[in-house]
Structure 1
Amino acid sequence: MDENCSSIRADLLQRLQSLTQHAATDDTLPLPDLANQLTELANHMRLASRNAALPPAPRAATCDTAMDTGPRGAVQGAPTDAAAFPGQQPSKKQRRAPREFDFSRYRTRFVALELMYVGWSFQGFARQDNTENTIEGVLFSALRKVKLVPEAAATPISDLNYSRCGRTDRGVSALGQVVALRLRSSARVDEPEAPLELEYDYPRLVNKALPPEVRVLGWAPVPAEFNARFCAQYREYKYFIVQQRLQPSPPPPPLPPAHSEAKTASAATLQPGGDNGAISTHAVEGSGEAQGGPSAEPLPGPVPDPEPNLDPDSVSDLDPGTSCCSFLLDIDAMRAAAAHFVGEHDFRNFCKPDVATVRSFRRRILSFTINPVSTSTADKAHQVFAMTVRGTAFLWHQVRCMAAVLLMVGRGQERPEIVSKLLDVETTPRKPQYSMAPEEPLLLYACGFSSLRFRRSTPAMDGTMGDVAGLMHRHLIGAALTAACHSRLTKDDRCTEDVAAARSGVGGSAPHIPLERRQTEPSVEERMARRGLPWPPEPRQPGRGEGTGGADEEGEDDAMME
């Protein structure tokens, strides 16, 4: 065997090795393309083998010609050492320049994806122009990287029939978020639709390009008329709170008087005195609620300030140091208050009103429970509870507003009946100023659809379970670390008096002002009049889809972008 044919043999073997490595590392490589490229390579090998028996001079020319002919059926982006056209001299180091992926060669499939994400480090779910650090931002970046959707410049997202079930806010997490869109299929345009068993394992492909905090759990084929937002029959949220099991030393303050009694009651009625044992360790009021100091009586009626300055976050009902809602809570009182939410009500006093898009503030709550969470804990002095609410749809920040009021009830600052009073918009047409509960404990737990069964593969789920276990271990270690610090500090005799003072509210914390005595925001009617809009607005046509209570306004689900 002369030197020239030895070089051809080495080149053929190198091409075979490159093709094998490419097929092993690229799960998106279609089987028909792989078969075509292997067939082409086999033909080159047979041709080189036949030419080995020819005289030396013709054999060398023929072998060169064989190597000059590149694989015409090569997959785009697959590595190859052969030249692209006959007549060109090959080179061992030569590589074909990558060409743009041709999506027109493949069919598409309309699918629903089930997503899980821990949203603490993201700027919300919806994509934004000024940052890529959103759930949708990293999702579409991953879809483009694995060539399941074209680049944004070639195909706008609107052309993918994209829809989402919920629009969670900054810091909010999800376990059952659902989106729908068109993705590239494994079948070519000239082939019939691929059977589900032979379709791409979409979760496995996309998860390789996603950060560990975001995972695709499953996929399902859906009909062309499916819309993840309008076809949802319910959304279920969980809001996690911490019950402090240790009995604090100071006695609880009395429950606030009823609204009729408050008109004649003095500020002295807020002095500490025992009653039912459901007490608050901290209650900090913002300057916007108690004009002129803690003892000043707020003026009734709407706040004269313009609407943009009425951000509920400017009014603090929780100490910033207790953002995880850790108190000695009266869980039974909270359950009694939560029962008032069930049914169809006007929730304008339990949301951030968005009069520009919302047509109605009536929503239907299907269930509301408060139960302990069975989980490993590093601190026996605390118990985690989950407030689980299921409804057909939710208003902007509705869940966090409901959680905030329930926490006031649990701390003994409000009676359970305050919920029914705030739901009665005839007697309470204006929302009292109060801050929402923090966003980190909120989880979009599930989105319900009547006929949607997600497909999950064992390899994809094994990888996801490992990623979730890693995140869980990280947070368990963090909980154990902070619990050790807390235990050490509580046993330190040198800071016992300071800790007791902090628990009793001494050191700058203002007394709780009952919701019925607080300043109020403008009513919905006043907001609409300010914008020159009629109220009630003109009714819309019935919404699309099969959902029994699908969203009627864009971004109405709890936790919209701030």
Structure 2
Amino acid sequence: MPSSKPFIFNSYSQRKIALKFSYSGWSYNGLAAQSVPTPLPTVEQTLWDALSKGRLVDASKSFDSAGWSRCGRTDKGVSSAGQVVALWVRSAYTPYNAPHAPHAIEAFKQPTAARPPSLSKAQHASIDSADESERDSVRERVYKEAHEAQIFKESQPQTHELNYIQILNSLLPPSIRILGWAPVHPAFDARFDCLRRHYKYYVDPAASPQGPGLDVGRMNTALQRLKGTHDFRNFCKVDASKQIKNFHRTIHDAWIEREENLNLHCVNLVGSAFLYHQVRCMMAVLFLVGCGKEEVSVVDDLMRVELDPEHPHLPTVIGKPIYDMAHDLPLCLYDCVYDDSKVVWRSAPCGSESE
């Protein structure tokens, strides 16, 4: 029997895409892949393993080799309903049938290695049955015919891309689901091209970390004071290794809504970017306000890290007060928002480049 055809990843074309997906945070040791063993798998490593098994990336290479970027890093226990990563993946298109303008693939890489032609059983048999004196010439002729047939096949019109959603969801555990994919430009970065990130934090007023009887109205009043551009150094966990000097971030919108079917309240926070543990720290302060242990004005106090020249009598809070962060499990990265003209999500099984 002939040996199985080797899979040479670099003999296939690649394109850059963004993937939108959801995951249950409690099943994983956070989003980001780690260089050391972790008690639980990470979301990224699980996704990479599925990409490798589906031969969509080169399993022998690293995340960096695929141009990997992520939108928002989530910690252990935190879930997402709309996380986004971007990377180069194998494409069904070839240099011979890739679409041209106006539907050309913006980020398209041609193969860098030759793909061995596929031989049929009859072709293998013709080589094996040839006289020894003629076997080399027969082999050369058969491989030439196979190569020409392969080029002809690759030149035929290709109307649909690989079914990325189906391939990955068939290989991923149920706790991670691919929701859609989008063609992106070569320089696209899932983190830096994101316009807004929308977080949701679910609250049960009858069973909060500070005890029952949360005043959701007080929490919402305090929440509104977080909107706008502020210095949030007292609402985050400072990571000395990252050497962050700018703690200013912008909260575009914030509100609390009631989830009727779940008997819960949902705190919504929409911002351009967030500091390390910023949402959980803000929620911790909101819980203190909601249970009456702090006044609503504590939010303004914590954001006043420099002397206010218009109100010099007001105190500044230079060192972050000690308080426990809110729990990770109720937190969800709900959505990552991009420019609709640059990122068009596809959720259908397959998609034509002209769609």
Q: What band does the TM-score fall into relative to the shorter chain?
A: 0.7 to 0.9
Residue 241 (str. 1) matches residue 127 (str. 2): no
Greater relative contact order (CA < 8 Å, ≥ 6 in sequence): 2
Aligned: 1:422 with 2:313? no
Q: Residue 168 of structure 1 corresponds to which residue in structure 2?
A: 74
Q: 1:391 aligns with which of 264, 267, 271?
A: 271
Contact 1:234 1:449 in 2 (8 A): yes
Q: How many residues align?
A: 281
Measure how far apart 1:105 and its partner are.
Answer: 2.7
2:161 corresponding residue in structure 1: 199
Kindly indicate whether residue 325 of structure 2 is the aligned counterpart of residue 436 of structure 1. Answer: yes
**Pair 103,324 (structure 1): closer, same or farther in 2 beyond 3 Å:** farther
Equivalent position to 2:45, from 127, 137, 148: 137
Deviation at 1:405, TM superposition (A): 0.5
CA distance in 2, matches of 1:116, 1:326: 31
Tell me the C-alpha RMSD between the 2 structures. Answer: 2.0
Q: Secondary structure at the match of 1:327?
A: coil
1:456 to 343, 347, 350: 347
For residue 208 of structure 1, give the secondary structure of its aligned residue in structure 2. helix
- Pick aligned residue for 1:356 from 241, 265, 273: 241
Between the aligned partners of 1:116 and 1:454, the Cα distance in structure 2 is 14
Contact 1:324–1:441 (8 Å) recurs in 2: no
Query: What secondary structure does 2:205 align onto?
Result: strand
* Residue identity in the other structure for 1:209: L
DSSP 3-state at the match of 2:45: helix
- Deviation, structure 1 residue 200: 1.1
Task: Identify the residue that residue 253 of structure 2 maps to in structure 1.
Answer: 367
Asked if the contact 1:114–1:179 (Cα under 8 Å) also holds between the matched residues in 2, the reply is yes
Contact 1:124–1:168 (8 Å) recurs in 2: yes
Query: In 2, distance between residues paired with 1:137 and 1:326?
Result: 38
- 2:165·2:349 contact (CA, 8 Å) conserved in 1? no
Say whether residues 1:334 and 2:242 are aligned partners: no
1:146 to 54, 71, 90: 54
Superposed displacement of residue 204, structure 1 = 0.9
Provide the residue aligned with 1:345 in structure 2. Answer: 230
Q: Does the aligned pair in 2 maintain the 1:105–1:188 contact within 8 Å?
A: no
AA at the equivalent of 1:434:
Y
Task: Write the distance in 2 (CA, Å) between the matches of 1:406 and 1:384.
Answer: 16
Tell me the distance in 1 between the aligned counterparts of 2:331 and 2:252: 18
**Equivalent of 2:194 in 232, 251, 274:** 232
What TM-score results when the alignment is normalised by the length of structure 2? Answer: 0.75
Q: Deviations over 1:268-292 (max 9, x none)?
A: xxxxxxxxxxxxxxxxxxxxxxxxx
1:10 matched residue in structure 2 = none
CA distance in 1, matches of 2:214, 2:349: 42
2:108 match: none
| 2:33–2:45 CA contact under 8 A, matched in 1 | yes
Task: Report the CA distance between 1:102 and its aligned residue.
Answer: 1.5
The residue that corresponds to 2:313 in the other structure is none
**CA–CA separation in structure 1 for the residues paired with 2:13 and 2:99:** 8
Q: Is contact 2:160-2:350 (8 Å) kept?
A: no
> 2: distance between equivalents of 1:212 and 1:324?
30
The residue number in structure 2 matching 1:317 is none
Q: Is residue 106–residue 185 contact of structure 1 (8 Å, CA) maintained in 2?
A: yes
Provide structure 1 residue ranges, at least 5 long, that are not aligned to the other structure.
1-82, 85-95, 245-321, 378-382, 461-562
- % same residue: 40
In structure 1, distance between residues paired with 2:64 and 2:26: 28
CA–CA distance in structure 1, aligned partners of residues 204 and 321 of structure 2: 26
- The structure with the greater share of residues assigned to helix is 1
Which amino acid counterpart does residue 348 of structure 1 have in structure 2?
R
Q: Partners of 1:327 and 1:394 in 2: how far apart?
A: 29
Report the Cα distance in structure 1 between the residues aligned to 2:33 and 2:185, rounded to whole angstroms: 25
Alignment-derived partner of residue 336 in structure 2 = 447
Equivalent positions of 1:153-552 (< 5 A) are 153=60, 155-193=61-99, 198-244=160-206, 327-357=212-242, 358-375=244-261, 377=262, 383-426=263-306, 427-451=316-340, 452-457=343-348
* Greater Cα radius of gyration, structure 1 or 2: 1
Cα displacement (A) at 1:328: 1.2
* More strand by percentage: 2
CA distance in 2, matches of 1:105, 1:324: 56
Q: Which amino acid aligns with 2:253?
A: S
User: Does the Cα contact within 8 Å between 2:210 and 2:291 map onto a contact in 1?
Assistant: no
State the secondary structure of the residue aligned to 1:445. Answer: strand
**Displacement, 1:324?**
6.7
Distance 2:204 2:344 in 1: 34
Question: In the alignment, which of 15, 23, 27 is matched to residue 117 of structure 1?
Answer: 23
Shift of 1:359: 2.5
Mapped to 2, the partners of 1:325 and 1:193 lie a distance apart of: 59
Contact (CA 8 Å) 1:117, 1:173: kept in 2 or not?
Answer: yes
CA contact (8 A) 2:237 2:278 kept: yes
Q: 1:186 to 1:227 in 2, by over 3 A?
A: same
1:104 positional shift? 2.6
Matched-pair contact (CA < 8 Å) for 2:163–2:350: no
Could you list the per-position Cα deviations for residues 124-177 of structure 1 after superposition, in whole angstroms to 9, with x for gaps in the alignment? 0000121470100110000011111111x3x22212111010000000000111
Shift of 1:392: 0.7
Cα distance between partner residues in 1 of 2:27 and 2:199: 19
Other-structure match for 1:285:
none
